[in-house]
Chains A and B, each alone.
Chain A
Amino acid sequence: MNRVSAQFAIGAIFAGLTCAALSPNNAFAGIDPEASGFRGAIGPLLRSDRGTPPGLKGGLAIEAEAPVVWRFAVRMDFVTGMASQDQLRASGPTLGILPTFRQPLGKGQAPRWALDVAVGPTLWFGKSTWWEGVYPGPFPGFRGVGGVEYRPHSIVAIRAEGGTDHNYGTLPLLNGSAHGWDARLLVVARQPTNP
């Protein structure tokens, strides 16, 4: 199995887990109030892609999350101006839908820390700065992330996230793909779910 197939397989496993958990007869049925609730997040990101010379570019990330079941949620991920640092200089927003699993850390009704992982498909609406006519996008791909959240307040939290994204455009993109990693620091607004 090559790297791309393996990455898609991981996404499929997460999607399968989500579907299984949605079943009414499933032992996981019901929402874990410690882990999930509607939430929105916004914050800056730094992104690196391959390029010569390599470098970092900034952007803005906006996330919205809805609880699904137990500790699973679905996250909509929007990034402004994701840009490749190769000479195609493709740039544009990215939209993703990521099945998410969140694990609270600690005991009690309101644990202050939580970890989460998410993998899911994305679309990159990139256009080459130099040859946009032949690179209309969108380029399909996927994103995988891990995050840690601190909840000093019942509604407001802070979340740090590191992730990697891969998008594919067959031949037009450099070697047929664009891939990089990013780091985000997000301010989170949570729907209170504890009684």
Chain B
Amino acid sequence: MRIFVSHSAKDTEIVSALRQALSQSPHEVTAATEKDGPSEIAARLRSSDLVVACLLQPSMDTFVELGMALGSGRPTILLGSVGEPSAADAFDLPSVAPTGSTVLDAQGLAVAIERISNQKSLVSPAAPSQPITLNALAENPSRLDSVSYASFEALVRDWFRKTVATNESVSSGGRDGGYDFKLSHEGAEYLVQVKKVSHQGRVPVEVVRSLADAVRLSGSAGGVLVTSSTLTAAAQSIAQQSQIRVLSLYDLAAASSSHELLKDVLSGERDRRQARYQWLKEMKERNDKEPGKEFFIGLTGHKNAIAFAHHWQDLGYVAMRRGDGHPDDPNDILVRITGQGTEYVEAAERDRATQRAGF
């Protein structure tokens, strides 16, 4: 078993003491080195089977690493406890009470490690040995840290394989150059790029640009970017301009066997729906600030504002009327959100909070 010891710079002795205590066992003890940056430390933690969090003189980094260990479902043993209730109590974790002697602490940890090694029942429910699914990742995004780029791509590729009809295909080619694989759907070819970034990270502009270039070069019908995170504003803008469709992890998890989502994404309908909803939401926010006020749309508004307003008016969510003649705008339309529209946005926000499936 590979054991990662998370400790502060003040607690370095515990690493060598634990190595000594486990020297007769098959277990391997690793810890961050002085040269390691955050990504190296995260990689060490991800490649471990068990984490020992030394909380004798903890630093902020120690708690971050403890969070990563718990989030990724790794069995974790605490040395010491901090706070009330203690971290061990809060997460129901095995712990070793400090003795004041590093050697004795290490021996106590060695016993706890052997116990975990022998008793699989102590392993937390989200242990990495369980098969990871897109649904599981959507429910617990911190588990993404324990999924390699290749595994994430394979999960997404499988999703497409299961979702598209039998006469359609997912190629196995690719590997960057702008895209990972090709998808054939209803006679058209799409390039798919899968991007796993940490849940704090965002997909940068060059990823979208490379995919857009690959789409143009190949003459494909379009591109699909599947990501575990969100896009930067610049990347989002390029995606919209380039007809690159973006699918989130939540989209895939929420529509694991649905053709509709794929059809909507590939046709761009979902983007339009999202944009229309975003516009209505902004109307509600403006109404919250200035209740009942009519807002001028047209030349100075969102470029699709008039189309959006007509759409929502048909559903009764906004009221539109011609203005008194704006000097610069022949369209000259004033619009305000109705009570029905306000209720719709509020309900949708509640749904989004519970479903996280996007629109």
Tell me if chain B binds chain A.
no
